[in-house]
Amino acid sequence: MVVLSVEKAKDFAQRFSEQNDTRLIERNLRRLLDQQLNLNEQIREMVSHLVRTNDKFSKSNPFQNYEIDVPGDSPLIGKSLMELMFWHKTRATIIAIRRTDKVILSPGPYAVLLEGDTIIFVGDISTIESVSNYITKAQQISE
């Protein structure tokens, strides 16, 4: 190679350097795109697994449990489940009462609610609000 002028040599070196930089950037971009594709595939697989697991769980346990604490000022305190007509008022079914360190499973009609109890119930999503309203607001118990 014959160098005819210092200026032309500098221009050539600059263009060669820029081309190498461009190639390097292109290579890095391709590598990053490959990594992104790999990550997207991993995310897709994880989401698919999560959906399958959730579907299995939903089919094996179609009843969602909800919990609500009985506050100290609740009009339900000291009343039996039979007196409260809980299902009739809320459309929710009490499946357990958690009281301090014990759980009363499938409480019968004579079970009495106490301050600090946690009611565990099943029902559709609308029952959450109706149970909350029934427990916290002074709805007429004797209606």
* Structural domains of the chain, count: 2
Contact predicate 130/66, CB 8 Å:
no
pLDDT digits (tens, 9 = 90+) for 98-107: 999 899 999 9
For residues 106 and 58, state if they share a domain: no
The domain in which residue 8 lies consists of 1-62
> Is 99 domain-assigned?
yes
**Last residue of one domain, picked from the residues 46, 62, 78:** 62
> Is 105 domain-assigned?
yes
pTM of the model: 0.56
pLDDT digits (tens, 9 = 90+) for 15-72: 767 777 788 888 999 999 999 999 999 999 999 988 888 777 667 666 788 999 999 9
Pairing assessment for the beta strands 65-69 and 102-105 based on DSSP bridges: unpaired
For residues 7 and 39, state if they share a domain: yes
